[in-house]
């Protein structure tokens, strides 16, 4: 497990009111994650990538501002995910009355991604509030009576190797130990989130703004004391694609 604390993910704004820093550089050869902050009233146009080169997506954390393509505007009224249609349309991100905090993800497209996307994928561009995504449960959450409510934000296999979800629940509670044989996984702790995360033989107490990265094949789980709360989103990448 690798961890980046919120206090480490800071820096100066540029002349346009934008701040961006890479999170745990080198943790993965397949995907890079960046923390971004856009000052209130400012805008930013991210670099775009051709289909077949890189897949890009975003997670917005603060409920302010909006994101536009050349034809549509999407209001950021809650935690939200946005996936542009590669370089087909320019996109602009605007901060509203408060600073907009968000995460940017840029992943290399493999042959598996190309084959899978050619077969089936999410219609792009796609904007979705986390709270509007569909709920699911697993044996190590609902099956053991956990308070964790799991939401599928960006579905497995429908953006190639890349996916995203959101977990929320109040303590005391637990997410049981489990293991992903083909998935590397990032956890991004959202405001109000406080929990103990265990991976392999390590346990860490994490809270708002902290980020963890766990390699495939590592047993992991989480626990909450009374008064603590699950509130985090995860990003997964199936390094060699999904089996079966």
pLDDT at position 233, please?
A: 98
Q: Is residue 81 part of a domain?
A: yes
pLDDT, tens digit, for every residue of 152-195?
999 999 999 999 999 999 999 999 999 999 999 999 999 999 99
104 plus 197 within the same structural domain: no
118 plus 201 within the same structural domain: no
Domain boundary among 131, 159, 184: 131
Omega within 30 of 0 (cis) for the link into 183: no
Domain boundary among 109, 131, 153: 131
CATH of the domain at 190: 2.60.120.10
Kindly tell me if the per-residue pLDDT of 114 is higher than 80. Answer: yes
Which domain range does residue 22 map to? Answer: 2-131
DSSP 198: E
157 plus 89 within the same structural domain: no
Kindly tell me if the per-residue pLDDT of 148 is higher than 80. Answer: yes
Q: Is residue 24 part of a domain?
A: yes
Kindly tell me if the per-residue pLDDT of 244 is higher than 90. Answer: no
Domain boundary among 73, 103, 131: 131
103 plus 219 within the same structural domain: no
pLDDT, tens digit, for every residue of 40-76?
999 999 999 999 999 999 999 999 999 999 999 999 9
Kindly tell me if the per-residue pLDDT of 26 is higher than 80. Answer: yes
111 plus 151 within the same structural domain: no
Cβ neighbour number for residue 31 with a 10 Å cutoff = 20
Q: Is residue 244 part of a domain?
A: no
Q: Which residue has the tokens 């999407």?
A: 74
pLDDT, tens digit, for every residue of 190-227?
999 999 999 999 999 999 999 999 999 999 999 999 99
Nearest to 138 by CA among 151, 128, 129: 151
Q: Is residue 142 part of a domain?
A: yes
List Cβ neighbours of 36 (8 Å cut-off, separation of 6 or more): 18, 19, 20, 44, 101, 102, 103, 104
pLDDT at position 80, please?
A: 98
Q: Is residue 229 part of a domain?
A: yes
Q: Is residue 120 part of a domain?
A: yes
Burial of 13: CB neighbours in 10 Å, binned 0-12, 13-18, 19+: middle
Q: Is residue 16 part of a domain?
A: yes
59 plus 124 within the same structural domain: yes
144 plus 89 within the same structural domain: no
User: How many domains does the structure of the chain reveal?
Assistant: 2
95 plus 20 within the same structural domain: yes
For the question of whether the overall pTM of this predicted structure is more than 0.75, the answer is: yes
pLDDT at position 243, please?
A: 85
What is the overall mean pLDDT for the chain? Answer: 97
Percent of all residues in the chain with a pLDDT value above 90, rounded to a whole number: 99
79 plus 143 within the same structural domain: no
Q: Is residue 243 part of a domain?
A: no
Please report which helix (H) or strand (E) contains residue 3, including its range. strand 2-4
7 plus 123 within the same structural domain: yes
142 plus 208 within the same structural domain: yes
87 plus 99 within the same structural domain: yes
């Amino acid at each position: 497990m690798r961890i980046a604390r919120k206090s480490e993910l800071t820096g100066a704004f540029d002349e346009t009111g934008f701040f961006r820093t890479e999170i745990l550089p080198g943790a993965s050869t397949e995907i890079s994650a960046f923390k971004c902050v856009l000052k209130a009233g400012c805008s930013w146009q991210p670099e775009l990538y051709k289909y077949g080169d890189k897949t890009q997506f975003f997670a917005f954390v603060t409920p302010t501002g909006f994101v536009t393509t050349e034809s549509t505007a999407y209001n950021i009224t809650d935690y939200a995910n946005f996936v542009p249609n590669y370089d087909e349309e320019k996109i602009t991100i605007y901060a509203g009355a408060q600073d907009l905090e968000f995460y940017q993800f840029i992943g290399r497209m493999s042959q598996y991604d190309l084959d899978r996307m050619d077969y089936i994928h999410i219609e792009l561009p796609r904007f979705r509030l986390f709270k509007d995504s569909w709920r699911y449960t697993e044996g190590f959450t609902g099956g053991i009576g956990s308070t964790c409510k799991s939401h599928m934000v960006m579905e497995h296999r429908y953006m190639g190797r890349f996916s995203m979800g959101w977990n929320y629940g109040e303590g005391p509670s637990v997410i049981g130990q489990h293991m992903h044989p083909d998935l590397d996984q990032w956890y991004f702790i959202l405001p109000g989130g406080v929990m103990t995360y265990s991976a392999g033989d390590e346990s860490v107490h994490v809270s708002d703004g902290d980020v963890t990265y766990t390699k495939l094949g590592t047993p992991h789980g989480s626990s909450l004391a009374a008064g603590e709360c699950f509130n985090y989103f995860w990003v997964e990448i199936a390094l060699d694609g999904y089996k079966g």
